Amino acid sequence: MHPDWINSLKNLQLAATLKQDHPLFAPLTHLSILTVSGTDAAVFLQGQSTCDIKALVDNQPSLGAFCNAKGRTLSTFIIIKQAEQFLLILTKDLLATVQKKLQMYILRADVQLSDASDHLCLIGLHHYQLETPTQVYAYPQLANSHLWIGTPEEAIQLCHNLVQQGISGVDRNTWLALDIQAGIPWLFKATSEEFVPQMINLDKLNAISFEKGCYTGQEIVARTHYLGKNKRALYQASCVTDTDIILGCSISEAGEESKLLGTVVLTSKQETGSQLLVVLKDQAHEVKNLQLNNSNHDKISLN
């Protein structure tokens, strides 16, 4: 991130809890932007991503994912088409990994990958509409929410203006609570390449096209879809604990720690406890005493 943007965030008083249905904004510092450009950019991405690049409409964001050759999800992302350029929004944790992986497949194609973290900033807006809706995009799956993208200078000025208007600012952890409520499964290093896309409900989020043709990992993803062999699914859950929950933490039934039933995908710590997205095996959602396999063996409840 740009140093000026980082320094400006230190002066913002960002809340750590979510107030439902209240106007708010959040600097999305856990996300980064990878730009994909060049005359072959669309064809290249069509052969790498789960979503149908040809079906994208300019400036209308969509969800998608990249998989490895075994059909495991390397990274989830929001993609925005801008004429011949594409903006890939993914967790900062995985940007370098994804960029390196994609670079391997470019070969002689006219495709350029660029980490835009230093000159483009992301701000989430919830229950608030800017009077001038430039640089603003609908946030996929999250009602009444938008993504704002601009330069560090513009981002600093926007945050100042919002504070002056009395709009509350929240931290990235709190914005993740909204993502969890919407069922958006952001992946980080701890959970990358752990799940087939259907295990994190990407098929239900319209992030997978089963008609577009081949892409890396497509054979496994398609087989899972057409043969109905997906044995796991994504659920929202909650946990009352003061302990930070580690991404990738395993889940079991109380007293049966050796029999793993699931994995923590995403977490957001709030005043009343933590909100979670978890992947569970078939029938595990019917288990009454699910717990985290952490030091406290904290109990979790499905929402």
Residues 295 and 169 in one domain: no
Residues 90 and 158 in one domain: yes
Domain housing 55: 3-182
Q: How confident is the model at residue 215 (pLDDT cuts 50, 70, 90)?
A: very high
Residues 42 and 146 in one domain: yes
> What value does the mean pLDDT of the chain take?
94
Query: What's the CATH code of the domain at 297?
Result: 2.40.30.110
Q: Is residue 137 part of a domain?
A: yes
Q: Is residue 70 part of a domain?
A: yes
pLDDT of residue 83: 86
Domain boundary among 161, 182, 203: 182
| Residues 95-134 pLDDT 10s | 999 999 999 999 999 999 999 999 999 999 999 988 777 8
Q: Is residue 295 part of a domain?
A: yes
Beta strands 24-27 and 168-169, pairing class: parallel
Query: What's the CATH code of the domain at 24?
Result: 3.30.1360.120
Residues 19 and 111 in one domain: yes
Give 195's DSSP letter.
S
Q: Which of 72, 286, 79 minimizes the C-alpha distance to 200?
A: 72
Give 245's DSSP letter.
P
pLDDT of residue 129: 87
Residues 177 and 257 in one domain: no
| Residues 83-95 pLDDT 10s | 889 999 999 999 9
Residues 40 and 155 in one domain: yes
Residues 131 and 274 in one domain: no
Q: Has residue 272 got a pLDDT over 90?
A: no
Q: How far from chain centre, in Å, is Cα 152?
A: 22
Residues 7 and 111 in one domain: yes
Residues 146 and 295 in one domain: no
| Residues 164-195 pLDDT 10s | 999 999 999 999 999 999 999 999 999 999 99
Task: Report the length, in residues, of the chain.
Answer: 303
Domain boundary among 182, 197, 217: 182
Q: Is residue 193 part of a domain?
A: no
User: Where are any strands of DSSP class E within the chain?
Assistant: 24-27, 31-37, 62-67, 73-82, 85-91, 112-115, 121-126, 136-138, 145-150, 168-169, 232-239, 250-253, 256-270, 273-281, 290-292, 301-302
Q: Is residue 226 part of a domain?
A: no
Number of domains in the chain: 2
Distances (CA, A) of 134 to 8, 129, 138, 162, 224: 22, 11, 12, 16, 40
Q: How far from chain centre, in Å, is Cα 289?
A: 28
| Residues 274-296 pLDDT 10s | 999 999 998 888 888 999 999 99
Residues 164 and 34 in one domain: yes
